[in-house]
A and B are shown apart, each in its own frame.
Chain A
Amino acid sequence: MKQPPQSESPQDEVPEDYLSRELFDMVHVYIITKPELQNKLITVTALDKKLVGCPVCIEHKKYSRNALLFNLGMVCDAKTKTCSLEPLVKKLAGYLKTLELENGFVSNESSKQQLPKLMEVLLKEINESGKCTLPIDNSNTINLKVIEHRRTPATVQEYEVPVFTQCWDYDASQWDLTTQQILPCIDGFRHLRKISDEADVELNLVRIAVQNLLYYGVVAIVPIFQYSNVYCATPRLQLLAEDASLQDECLTYITKPGYRKATLRAAFLLYSSLSPGTTVRDLCCRHAPHLQHIDERKLVQFGLMKGFIRRLHKIPLKLPAEGRGKISRWFNGCHCYDEICCKKGLSYKELEEKTEHDPGIIIFWK
């Protein structure tokens, strides 16, 4: 890292001479910038290196040239993804600005000497553990942490089910109160609404908590399990045929406790038999012998989590009468059975009766 103040040359570099003079000359305009660009996060790529910095400008008569410009930046390899370092750089810039305004930390000759040491500590600790504590003086400490940037997950619906991705050994105190209350209810079979009822937590709070868990990869979302569900195989099923460790994991997961371990052939056959037109109930009837020592719920759950199978949703559509007649709120081809049942409080059977007796309703499976 380097920190060049007014003069157009790097004052402090850790490790020393990491940046060639050549590179610095090329990019100095992005490091010590015009006033218009101050306080902006600037990332520039040159000569296989990426520099992330945030220039700061403090105007005051006490400085020679009436202004102090400085920039504490980070230098990485050009291919690195630096989004997670940006908040760090911004925070450091803010801190240093405050320190300068209060104590003249940056411009003062004696306190300036601390900077290279601080930068060394920063470099070492961030690279090793992703977090760092920098004591500046008796009353000031900077705490920094690199936060991994993740994708925002899709909204979780109330008829969807969270399931733990691994056997997590969690420390309850690390999570907020709401999450702590709902964690015992997450068993891979209860959907959001049920969790909300059983844990006595408002539905939206449950949704937020589960989405938070989803963001950190603690849970995955699967559809509700019912014996009337229909699933079909995906190309990812090939992975089960090829990956020995995955096979092991699968067979251990799906075998009923206390029974002989399931065979790969049985698992594969069951997954392959899941196809459009076949409900889980049909599967159980057809392959009863195999399912003596395999838990079909776990089989489906594992298949969904690993992407071997996908759920086929049943979507009813009521065709409007001649012309653009009024379309039904729920039967407009956009809502699946799960959603309708959940939101209208119907059971699958009740909804099925409604749709079967209406000749104007057609069914999609997708």
Chain B
Amino acid sequence: MARDRTNPISVILVSSGSRGNKLLFRYPFQCKTKQQTASTGRRNRFAIVSGGEVEEQEGDCSESCLLTDEHLVSGFSDTILATILAPKSELCGKKFELKVDDVRFVGHATLLQHENSSQACKADPSPKREVPTMILFNVVFALRAHADPSLIGYVHTLSRRLALALRREEWRCQYLTREAKVMLAAQDEMGAHDGESPFQDVLPKSKLARDLKEIYDNLCSTGLVQLYINNWLEVSFCLPHKVHKVESGHVSPESISRSLRNIRPYHALLLLGECKSLLSELPPDVSPALSRLIKITTPMKTLQQLALDSDLALAQVCQLASHLVYWGKANIIFPLCESNVYMLSSTADTYVYSANAENFSQQFPGHDLPSMLAEFSLPTPLVEHRNPLANPDQQAQLVHMVVWLLQRRLLIQLHTYVCLMVPDADESDATSGTVCRPPVFLECGLSTQEARATSVPNTLPVGSPSSGDDLTLASPVTEVTSAEASSAEFGLGGEDSPVGAGAYENPLSVLTEHERRCILAVPAAQNQDDLRLFTRLLPYFCGRQHLEDVMYHENVRRSQLLTLLDKFRGVLAIRTHEDPALPALHCLPS
């Protein structure tokens, strides 16, 4: 198995004090005999420097990667690491980043101010505690220089959190000084022996050493760090590059944050694992609201409905949901309903004996994954996958299978987007067709609506969508307050807007004369109701909002909407693709 580039090479703890710079602990450690000294002495100038070029092609021998890693950091002796990783005090309190050839060291050097202990000494003439001599310390992670640059920020965050916790404990009970003493004593003892690394001996004696080892191991495997420094202060951290790992690809940290920004009340929460196992993973001091939410959550219900069912505020539910997504325990999807259209994801592994295939057959005996995936090759609404002659159990099983596929990002959901695009003005006119003006619509239209609907900036418009077909709003946000929707109205700008808010002009006023004429030329425009509805929905026809969004905000049934789109198809351009607002649902190929 090829070594992951996002794995740290090593974790190192150094300190600087009255007795100079010391390397307290490093992991992984090598046997002393195997330790290679750095490039001192003569070397054949024609020899290929191993450990130099790390930018190898995929498919290279994984063994060489492993050797390279050890080589990379084992080349640095303890003393040299202590010198370079314990910086001057002026460089403390901020991100520490040092690159030496192919290794990047990232840390957060922290000063230990002796205020508390010196005050205690003054108060008590006979000091019971010994005066600490450590001035600063640094928890440093060694990464490969060519690793993903976004990794640096995250690793630095971890280093900083550890530094804060350690400093706290040092002030409280000199935890760090005690641990440092143990570590250095073990190193001195083992100094005489050959063959075994002194750090091997430190592990059973020092809790901090064991913690650092655990952090390293976890960063390399699950990407989740959750431990208690000195059995007291919690440090928790998750590395998005590992936590959101998918079978056949990866999800970038940016897609996660983007998806979190775009949560809406009509979205649903999809747990990525079993409910029971998730509950057992939660720490003991978890908020009861979170456990309640996890117990009642189902991909068929919207966050809005979950809020009502669990008796929590919508904002809180959204926050808890974001938390679960951030930690890789859940994903935000559009709730499962009959009209959803799913398609096979382009990164899905279709190999006949893929790992997913085995799991699927175990989970759903009698079915095989390839056949199921092939069914979704051509996107059709979920209702058409149902066999009308099947019994209710089989119907339910279909839903379970779709949920299973969504959890593993094997399916993507397609949405329909509408864009206003009128035909050309003149047949012989060489100019291109009209340009959409989405920014204006979007800025005016929706922000006004949302502002009207809410009083608190963080809350979202209230509504309770029940089924995919009928996303109704409890209290309609918009009203049609304009007078008779006649063709004359179109010509006038600045009148009562169809949306009712005087905050912005009639959306039709931003259209050109030509666009207005084209719209009115459509036969359906003669019908008052149709025209009124069209005008009301015009702000959404900029290609940035899918039909479900329109249905939710405007209290329109799907059938109504589709009929309208059909009638006005002469001036509209309709397309179908995945939702760009939820990139966390799609993975990029690895």
Question: Do A and B make up one complex?
Answer: yes
B197 interface hit (Cβ, 8 Å): no
Contact A237 B432 (CB under 8 A): no
Residues of B within 8 A of A29 (CB): 83-84
Q: A305-324 CB contact bits vs B (8 Å, 1 = yes)?
A: 00000101001011110001
Contact A34 B344 (CB under 8 A): no
Determine which residue in B343, B354, B542 has the highest number of CB atoms from chain A within 10 A of its CB, and name it. Answer: B343
Contact A265 B423 (CB under 8 A): yes
B327 interface hit (Cβ, 8 Å): no
Taking CB atoms and an 8 Å cut-off, the chain B residues in 423-457 that contact chain A are 423-424, 428, 430, 432-436, 438-439
A348-B354 Cα distance, complex, nearest whole Å: 27
Interface window among A124-132, A193-201, A242-250: A242-250
Distance (whole angstroms) from the CB of A176 to the closest CB of chain B: 21
A288-B563 Cα distance, complex, nearest whole Å: 26
A33-B98 Cα distance, complex, nearest whole Å: 14
A241-B350 Cα distance, complex, nearest whole Å: 34
Contact A37 B38 (CB under 8 A): yes
A234 interface hit (Cβ, 8 Å): yes
Contact B543 A327 (CB under 8 A): no
A275-B571 Cα distance, complex, nearest whole Å: 20
B46 interface hit (Cβ, 8 Å): no
Interface window among B198-206, B308-316, B368-376, B466-474: B368-376
Contact B421 A43 (CB under 8 A): no
Contact B99 A41 (CB under 8 A): yes
Residues of A within 8 A of B371 (CB): 319, 362
Contact B578 A235 (CB under 8 A): yes
Determine which residue in A237, A334, A364 has the highest number of CB atoms from chain B within 10 A of its CB, and name it. Answer: A364
User: Which of B88, B417, B421 makes the CB contact (< 8 A) with A264?
Assistant: B421
Contact B346 A366 (CB under 8 A): yes
Whether A364 touches B422, Cβ cut-off 8 Å, given contacts A37-B100, A276-B378, is no
Residues of B within 8 A of A271 (CB): 575
Taking CB atoms and an 8 Å cut-off, the chain A residues in 258-289 that contact chain B are 260-261, 263-266, 268-269, 271-272, 275-277
Contact A152 B424 (CB under 8 A): no
Instruction: Give the size of the chain A interface in residues (CB under 8 angstroms).
Output: 62
A273-B391 Cα distance, complex, nearest whole Å: 37
Contact B346 A310 (CB under 8 A): yes
Whether A30 touches B98, Cβ cut-off 8 Å, given contacts A22-B90, A36-B37, A36-B40, is yes
Residues of B within 8 A of A364 (CB): 344, 350, 370, 373-374, 377
B97 interface hit (Cβ, 8 Å): yes
Q: B465-509 CB contact bits vs A (8 Å, 1 = yes)?
A: 000000000000000000000000000000000000000000000
Determine which residue in A26, A264, A277 has the highest number of CB atoms from chain B within 10 A of its CB, and name it. Answer: A264
A348-B377 Cα distance, complex, nearest whole Å: 20
Q: Which residue of B lies closest to A78 (CB)?
A: B97
Whether A42 touches B352, Cβ cut-off 8 Å, given contacts A37-B38, A234-B577, A265-B573, is no
Instruction: Give the size of the chain B interface in residues (CB under 8 angstroms).
Output: 65
Contact B350 A26 (CB under 8 A): no
Residues of A within 8 A of B100 (CB): 37, 40-43
Contact A260 B430 (CB under 8 A): yes
Residues of A within 8 A of B575 (CB): 233, 237, 271-272
Distance (whole angstroms) from the CB of B106 to the closest CB of chain A: 11
Residues of B within 8 A of A218 (CB): none
Taking CB atoms and an 8 Å cut-off, the chain A residues in 3-32 that contact chain B are 22, 25-26, 29-30
Distance (whole angstroms) from the CB of A250 to the closest CB of chain B: 9
Contact B576 A265 (CB under 8 A): no
B379 interface hit (Cβ, 8 Å): yes
Whether A36 touches B77, Cβ cut-off 8 Å, given contacts A46-B91, A247-B432, is yes
Contact A244 B98 (CB under 8 A): no
Can you list 29 residue pairs at the A/B interface with Cβ under 8 Å?
A: A22-B90, A30-B84, A30-B98, A34-B80, A37-B80, A40-B100, A43-B98, A43-B99, A44-B99, A152-B55, A233-B577, A235-B577, A238-B544, A241-B435, A251-B432, A264-B421, A265-B422, A265-B423, A265-B573, A272-B576, A276-B377, A310-B346, A319-B352, A332-B351, A333-B370, A363-B374, A364-B374, A366-B346, A366-B377
Binding site for A on B (CB under 8 A): 37-40, 55, 57, 76-77, 80, 83-84, 87-88, 90-91, 95, 97-101, 343-346, 348, 350-354, 368, 370-371, 373-374, 377-379, 417, 419, 421-424, 428, 430, 432-436, 438-439, 542-544, 573-580
The 9 closest A-B pairs by CB, nearest first: A264-B433, A235-B580, A272-B575, A43-B99, A333-B350, A365-B377, A36-B38, A362-B374, A36-B80
